[in-house]
Amino acid sequence: MTQEGGVLIVGLYQSSPSVEIMVYDFGAVTITYRFALNGPFERLLELSESLYEHQQLLTESRTRVEQLVRAIQPTIERPRIAREVEDYIVFSIESCSEPQSASLWASREADLAHILRGERAPLSDQETKDAMSCRISFGLEDTALIDWHAAVLFGKDMDDVRAVLKFANVELLEMRILDKQLDQALDQAYEALSRKSPLLPLPGSHDKGATHIAQLQVDSALLFERVTNTLKLLGDQYLARVSRLASQRFHLEAWDASILRKLQTLESIYGKMSDRAGVRRMEMLEWIIIVLITVSIAVSFLPMAGH
């Protein structure tokens, strides 16, 4: 959806009054602000520095999310706005008036590395090379430079590339939140597993803890599957390559591996809790049988009524 709002001033640039909002069915929201780029190339570094964790943009975007949640709250399951946020900058350069004997991205590598990292201090050759390492082109007149803080796109009709980068950041944010939730779930599971059982537990007391752990595991697994399977790039090999490159730069595979490992650990703890509950139930049944046998034997030795 598109909302109209006030103009935000960042350095020498001002945002468009139109703000784009995209809502994902697994509970994520992206807020997109647009700034028109018109001026010397050297100003981009100042803009990159200014936009990094810009407090006014973060506050304004959170206000929009709060308004959106209130508007669509009846359709949301367990509504809650997380504290975590992932900001990302995309510079889209469609044309440049500077005469270049070579491509702009080839003749200004040092400047582009500073813009991608949002860093004014001199960068080493190794850092510059790393910042420029994730580059992909479809034609001779376009290219995409992808880094963890920002991306620089050269060429026209790059909307699809921006959409892929936007979703890659959504996926990164969801992985961060899910990883944190799993850490909390593991702490709860360890606490439940190490908790001493009472001598005479109430019926169902063991199942309650195991059910809670199982619910945490299922919720996390479903969210993980919905996030990782939302974006489908069938038949478009170039955008699929852009997606893989963004995943590589954001280390999404490492996040995925960490989450899968924690899900397996949670499943293992749930299995141990279920086994322990089963053992406790069997012990209770054995004691009940022993008590019943003892009572029956004792009753047989009691004098019959009337004698």
Within 10 A of 241 (CB to CB), how many other CB atoms are there? 15
Put residue 99 in one of left, alpha, beta given phi > 0 → left and psi -120 to 50 → alpha.
beta
Are the C-beta atoms of residues 175 and 259 closer than 8 Å to each other? yes
DSSP conformation class of 15: B
What is residue 181's predicted lDDT score, i.e. its pLDDT? 86
List the beta strands (DSSP E) in the chain: 2-4, 9-10, 13-14, 18-23, 29-32, 89-93, 135-136, 143-146, 150-154
Q: Per residue of the chain (307 residues), what is the pLDDT tens digit?
A: 999 878 888 888 888 999 999 998 888 999 999 998 887 888 888 888 888 888 889 999 999 999 999 999 898 888 889 888 999 999 998 887 765 545 777 778 888 999 999 888 888 999 999 999 999 999 888 899 999 999 999 988 899 999 999 999 999 999 998 888 888 888 887 777 776 655 555 555 555 667 777 777 788 888 888 887 777 765 678 898 999 999 999 998 998 888 888 888 888 887 777 777 777 777 778 888 888 888 888 887 776 544 4
- Residue 30 and residue 85: Cα distance in Å, rounded? 10
Handedness of CA 107, 111, 117, 123 (dihedral sign): positive
As to burial, measured by CB atoms within 10 angstroms (0-12 exposed, 13-18 middle, 19+ buried), residue 87 is middle
Full DSSP string of 129-187:
HHHTSSEE-SSTT-EEEE-SSEEEEESS--HHHHHHHHHHHHHHHHHHHHHHHHHHHHH
What is residue 304's predicted lDDT score, i.e. its pLDDT? 55
What is residue 197's predicted lDDT score, i.e. its pLDDT? 59
pTM: 0.79
What is residue 282's predicted lDDT score, i.e. its pLDDT? 78
- Residue 144 and residue 153: Cα distance in Å, rounded? 5
Cα distances (angstroms) measured from residue 161 to each of 89, 104, 135, 233, 246 = 13, 19, 12, 12, 10
